[in-house]
Every structure is written in structure tokens, then in C-alpha cells.
């Protein structure tokens, strides 16, 4: 039983560690977007590629259209980041499907790095992907272990 509790704690740690990356991605993406829209040249490597593309287009369009393009970009960035916050929340509520869907969307976002090609962002996506996949695997194992522990506790 002690082994089960240790294993449960270890799996929970990996699961939450991966799930919390959704929050980091959302937050760092918004900060990067605010910097880009404000005219700064700094970006976080752990941010979403799609928001960076939206911001780049908005900055280019703002030269012709004014600040309206930047406002639209910021709204789109907030929606996209909000979706990743939702994946983080649902994943932390043990909704494994949300974890998987969020990870698949993050993989698709990583494919945008191939357009550049931006090797640094691609490597950053690979690092985050490692933690997300480790979290999904821990989640699957966690569910199985919790079921086994419940059956063991219910047995006479």
C-alpha cells in the first residue's frame, strides 16, 4: 500500500506538471503579444506560434489600417490563450480528453514553426510537448492505479 501511495504521488506530480504548461503557454503568449503589439522586439520562446503570427500580421496591417488591426489581434490572442487556460483547468480537473485535445492543438501550433523555419521555437515546443505527453501518460496510469486501489480497498 505504501508503494501505491508513493506511485500515486509521483504520477499526480507529473500529471499536474504537464497540465500546468497550458497556463504557462497562455500567459507567456499574452505577454509576448502585448510586447509585439506595443512595438517591442522581445518574445518568449515558450509561447504559441499562432499568436505570434497573428501579431506579426497585425503589426504589418497597422501601418496601413491603424491601430484597429492591433485591437483585433489582441482579441484573437485573448481568445486563443483563453482556450489554453480552459485546457489547463479541465486537465487539472482530471479531464484526460481535454489534456489530449490541448496537446494535439499544441502539436499543430508547433508545426507553424516549420513555416519560418524557427528552430528555437521548434525546440521549445518539443520541450513542452515532452512534459505534456509525460502528463498524459501519467494520467492514464493514475486512473488505472486509482481504480486498482479502490478495488483493493473494497475487497474484504
Higher pLDDT, 7 or 139: 139
pTM, two decimal places: 0.88
Confidence of residue 3 (pLDDT cuts 50, 70, 90): low
Distance CA 113, CA 32 (A): 16
pLDDT confidence of residue 63:
73
The pLDDT tens digits of the residues spanning 96-145 come to: 999 999 999 999 999 888 887 778 888 999 999 999 999 999 999 998 88
Higher pLDDT, 127 or 149: 127
H-type helices in 38-67, by residue range? Answer: 49-65
Mean pLDDT of the chain: 89
Rg (CA), the chain: 19
Using an 8 Å Cβ cutoff, are 36 and 55 in contact?
yes
Amino acid at each position: 500500500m505504501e508503494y501505491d501511495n508513493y506511485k500515486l504521488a509521483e504520477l499526480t506530480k507529473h500529471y499536474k506538471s504537464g497540465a500546468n504548461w497550458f497556463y504557462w503557454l497562455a500567459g507567456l503568449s499574452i505577454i509576448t503579444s502585448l510586447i509585439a503589439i506595443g512595438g517591442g522586439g522581445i518574445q518568449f520562446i515558450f509561447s504559441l506560434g499562432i499568436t505570434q503570427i497573428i501579431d506579426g500580421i497585425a503589426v504589418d496591417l497597422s501601418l496601413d489600417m491603424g491601430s484597429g488591426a492591433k485591437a483585433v489581434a489582441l482579441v484573437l490572442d485573448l481568445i486563443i490563450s483563453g482556450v489554453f487556460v480552459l485546457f489547463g483547468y479541465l486537465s487539472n480537473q482530471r479531464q484526460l480528453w481535454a489534456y489530449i485535445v490541448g496537446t494535439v492543438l499544441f502539436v499543430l501550433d508547433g508545426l507553424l514553426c516549420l513555416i519560418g523555419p524557427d528552430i528555437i521555437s521548434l525546440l521549445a515546443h518539443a520541450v513542452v510537448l515532452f512534459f505534456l505527453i509525460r502528463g498524459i501518460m501519467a494520467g492514464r496510469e493514475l486512473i488505472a492505479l486509482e481504480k486498482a486501489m479502490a478495488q483493493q480497498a473494497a475487497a474484504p
